[in-house]
């Protein structure tokens, strides 16, 4: 059931942003009844519905106006924007707030036995990634001729599997790299969570709701500093 008069917020269903985003919603007074396996969760005290989806889908849902707001990592947002711009598809959104959680970095990492001596070490190499746009932009800006290999998951096993020479993936604690015999060669993008809104004006009742929620988000974020 969806109701177009209710503010629709896209949140990652499971992953590095979901817990903190749900905690933030709770902290600003949005009561939710979330049941497993359901894509939609209704707020029990405010006209708000949550769309619980894969993080990769959130920027597109907001850019297409299907969700009014979305909590998303800057890495996914920037990747989707570049992808849509290249395809001449709608890529507009409004940045409401940069948040203080979900910090991670997108880095190029190489197997422990790889002798990294600087960017020239990537010349002619294959780099597996889920973020081909961000990687391509970085390689172009730095005049490196390497080939991105697009994988939607398990990027960290690509070198061992002989699919690529290096990887370009998110790192936060570094545990995944270490567990897979890889080390970070260079960081190419830093990311935190942001709250975005669809382009164009919201319906009046939705705008009023956003106007009451935003100061509360600012309050929660300031209290954390
Ligand atoms: C990222 C990345 C690694 C992991 C790195 O995945 O792909 O698997 O986090 O984190 P670490 O440095 O703390 O080990 P993410 O959790 O974003 O999930 P996804 O790849 O399924 O989107
Ligand atoms: Zn993802
Ligand atoms: Mg992963």
Q: How far is the CA of 203 from the centre of ligand 2 (A)?
A: 30
Please give the residue that has the higher pLDDT: either 139 or 223. 139
Q: What is the pLDDT of residue 42?
A: 93
Of all ligands present, the nearest one to the C-alpha of 180 is 1
Alpha carbon separation from 203 to 11, 55, 144 (Å, rounded):
21, 25, 47
Q: Could you give the percent of the chain with pLDDT greater than 70? A: 99
The tens digit of pLDDT for each residue in 47-102 reads 999 999 999 999 999 999 999 999 999 999 999 999 999 999 999 999 999 999 99
Atom 1 of ligand 1, nearest CA residue: 170
Look at 1-5, 36-40, 138-142, 185-189 and tell me which has the smallest mean pLDDT. Answer: 1-5
Q: What is the pLDDT of residue 37?
A: 72
pTM given for the model: 0.93
Q: How far is the CA of 115 from the centre of ligand 1 (A)?
A: 24
Rounded CA gap, 109 and 107, in Å? Answer: 6
Name all domains of the chain by residue range, CATH numbers in brackets. Answer: 7-102+192-224 (3.40.190.10), 104-191 (3.40.190.10)
Q: What is the pLDDT of residue 218?
A: 95
Rounded CA gap, 18 and 101, in Å? Answer: 11
Is the per-residue pLDDT at 2 higher than 90?
A: no
Model confidence at 3, pLDDT cuts 50, 70, 90, reads confident
Rounded CA gap, 103 and 75, in Å? Answer: 10
Q: What is the pLDDT of residue 1?
A: 57
Q: What is the pLDDT of residue 224?
A: 78
Is 169's C-beta closer than 6 angstroms to any atom of ligand 1? yes
Is the per-residue pLDDT at 225 higher than 90?
A: no
Ligand 1 pocket test, pick from 53, 102, 131, 172 with the greatest ligand atom count within 8 Å of Cβ, gives 172
Per-residue pLDDT averaged across 186-201, rounded? 97
Does the structure's ipTM exceed the value 0.95? Answer: no
Q: Are strands 32-33 and 193-197 parallel, antiparallel or unpaired?
A: unpaired
Is 17's C-beta closer than 6 angstroms to any atom of ligand 1? no
Q: How far is the CA of 71 from the centre of ligand 1 (A)?
A: 17
SS (H, E, C) 50-98: EEEECHHHHHHHHHCCCCCEEEEEHHHHHHHHHHHHHCCCCCCCEEEEE
Is 174's C-beta closer than 6 angstroms to any atom of ligand 1? yes
Q: What is the pLDDT of residue 33?
A: 85
Ligand 1 pocket test, pick from 170, 191, 192 with the greatest ligand atom count within 8 Å of Cβ, gives 170
The answer to whether 210 and 197 have CB atoms below 8 angstroms apart is: yes
Rounded CA gap, 169 and 110, in Å? Answer: 11
Q: How far is the CA of 102 from the centre of ligand 3 (A)?
A: 14
Q: What is the pLDDT of residue 118?
A: 97
Q: How far is the CA of 11 from the centre of ligand 3 (A)?
A: 18
Instruction: Return mean pLDDT, the chain.
Output: 95
Residue 148: closest CA among 165, 172, 160, 173? 165
Q: What is the pLDDT of residue 96?
A: 97
Beta bridge partners of 52: 11
Per-residue pLDDT averaged across 169-197, rounded? 97
Is 5's C-beta closer than 6 angstroms to any atom of ligand 1? no
Atom 20 of ligand 1, nearest CA residue: 153
């Amino acid at each position: 059931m969806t109701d177009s008069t209710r503010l629709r917020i896209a949140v990652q269903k499971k992953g590095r942003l979901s817990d903190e985003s749900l905690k933030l919603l709770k902290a600003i007074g949005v009561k939710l009844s979330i049941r497993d396996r359901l894509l939609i969760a209704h707020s029990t005290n405010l006209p708000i519905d949550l769309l619980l989806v894969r993080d990769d889908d959130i920027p597109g849902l907001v850019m297409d106006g299907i969700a009014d707001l979305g909590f998303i990592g800057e890495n996914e947002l920037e990747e989707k924007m570049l992808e849509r711009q290249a395809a001449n598809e709608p890529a507009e959104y409004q940045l409401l707030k940069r948040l203080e959680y979900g910090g991670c970095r997108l880095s190029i990492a190489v197997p422990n036995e790889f002798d990294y001596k600087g960017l020239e070490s990537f010349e002619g190499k294959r780099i597996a990634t889920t973020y081909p746009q961000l990687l391509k932009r970085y390689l172009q800006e730095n005049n490196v001729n390497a080939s991105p290999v697009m994988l939607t998951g398990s990027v960290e096993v690509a070198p061992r599997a002989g699919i690529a020479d290096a990887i370009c993936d998110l790192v936060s604690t570094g545990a995944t790299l270490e567990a897979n015999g890889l080390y970070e060669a260079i960081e190419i993008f830093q990311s935190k969570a942001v709250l975005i809104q669809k382009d164009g004006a919201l319906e009046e009742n939705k705008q009023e709701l956003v106007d009451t929620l935003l100061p509360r988000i600012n309050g929660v974020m300031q209290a954390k500093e």
